[in-house]
Amino acid sequence: MRSLHTDEIIKNVREMCIEANLQLAPDMTEAIHNGLENETGNLARQILGQLEQNMQIAKEDKIPICQDTGMAVFFVNVGQDLHIEGMSLTDAINEGVRQGYTDGYLRKSVVKDPLLRENTKDNTPAIIHYDIVPGDKLEILIAPKGFGSENMSKLYMLKPADGEEGVKNAILQAVSEAGPNACPPLVVGVGIGGDFELCAKLAKKALTRNVNESSKLPHIKEIEDEVLDKINHLGIGPGGLGGRTTALAVNIETYATHIAGLPVAVNMCCHVNRHVKRTL
């Protein structure tokens, strides 16, 4: 059986926290650039230009792209033939977050109790979603999530009779309500199906998919394309100040659901859609 020591996990998580906050993946920078090329309005172009400049400065001067360096959200696939040595895997991930957010000069944005609101001062605890998968590898994906956009997310428990139209309207409604608050241009993560909590998790997972990639399911891809086009005709635009580039992508993930239900979750993300994946 393959063994992996938690020291190795801590070291990698630490680096991933820092990397994710200083640089976006090429698919995101390309999508922002395409948005700029496609805009005609002066203000919209100016804002998208600022976003490009901002990414350049972030990379060169090691200043986080955005001051909201987020809550550290993880999707972790644990190979069922892997043996983890050292401390508990959850403790190791949290230790990596602690080190990454401290050594990387990232913002500590987590309060211990949602009502008492005392800052934990090291950005822990992280939010970790585990999956057990075949094999002997550990796949870690970090997606630091800012809350300006998180706060504009929605969960709708639709009826089966609402169908495809109901789903499309729900997504459009969520984006319209978010308007300028979620720092457009947005990436819209959508979950359809499952139950109450899985649906929301699917929506978050959808945000980690490459923005150039469509759903493999033809009927879902059609919804992604149609809704993206409709969103970009809402006029919200970069910074919510008018324009064509309201969203860069609509990514939908689906799961089986109950005969009585059609849950739809819309997890809003800004243009600072960060994610880094490593396999150990």
Partner 1 sequence: MDIKITTPLSKEELIKLHSGDYVYISGTIYSARDAAHKRMYETMEKGEKLPFDIKDNVIYYLGPTPAREGQVIGSAGPTTASRMDKYTPRLLDSGLSGMIGKGKRSKEVIDAIVRNKCVYFAAVGGAGALLSKCIKKSEVIAYDDLGTEAIRKMEVEDFPVIVVIDSKGNNLYETAVEQFLAKEVEK
- For ligand SF4, the binding residues (CB under 6 A) are 66, 68, 146, 148-149, 182-183, 270, 272
- Rounded to a whole number of angstroms, the minimum distance from the CB of residue 154 to partner 1 is 16
Nearer to ligand SF4, 109 or 215 (CB): 109
Question: Residues touching partner 1: how many (CB under 8 A)?
Answer: 48
Q: Which partner, ligand SF4, partner 1, none, binds residue 265 by CB below 5 to 8 Å per kind? A: none
Nearer to partner 1, 55 or 227 (CB): 55
CA torsion 228→233→234→236, rounded to 10°? 90
User: Both tokens of residue 155?
Assistant: 């969960």
Nearer to ligand SF4, 4 or 266 (CB): 266
- Rounded to a whole number of angstroms, the minimum distance from the CB of residue 218 to ligand SF4 is 32
Q: Which partner, partner 1, ligand SF4, none, binds residue 121 by CB below 5 to 8 Å per kind? A: partner 1
- Rounded to a whole number of angstroms, the minimum distance from the CB of residue 184 to ligand SF4 is 9
CA torsion 132→133→139→141, rounded to 10°? -60
Site stretch for partner 1 (CB under 8 A), options 77-85, 174-182, 190-198, 210-218: 174-182
Nearer to ligand SF4, 28 or 272 (CB): 272
3 state SS of 122: coil
From candidates 41, 86, 135, 166, binder to partner 1 by CB under 8 A: 41
How far is Cα 54 from Cα 147, in angstroms, rounded to an integer? 20
Query: Contact, 105 vs 17, CB < 8 A?
Result: no
Query: ∠ at Cα 152 (228, 97), nearest 5°?
Result: 105
User: Both tokens of residue 132?
Assistant: 């057990």
Site string for partner 1, 108-127 (x = CB under 8 A): xx-------x-x-x------
Nearer to partner 1, 142 or 262 (CB): 142
Q: Kindly write down the DSSP assignment for every residue of 4-61, as one continuous string.
A: EEHHHHHHHHHHHHHHHHH---HHHHHHHHHHHHH--SHHHHHHHHHHHHHHHHHHHH
From candidates 26, 160, 163, 235, binder to partner 1 by CB under 8 A: 235
User: Both tokens of residue 22?
Assistant: 């200083």
Nearer to partner 1, 56 or 212 (CB): 56
Q: Give me the residue whose beta carbon is nearest to ligand SF4.
A: 146
3 state SS of 136: coil
Residues near 236 by beta carbon (within 8 Å), at least 6 away in sequence: 175, 176, 179, 180, 184, 242, 243, 246
**Interface with partner 1 (CB under 8 A):** 41, 43, 46-47, 50-51, 53-55, 57-58, 61-69, 105-109, 117, 119, 121, 148, 151, 179-181, 183, 233-237, 239-244, 270-272
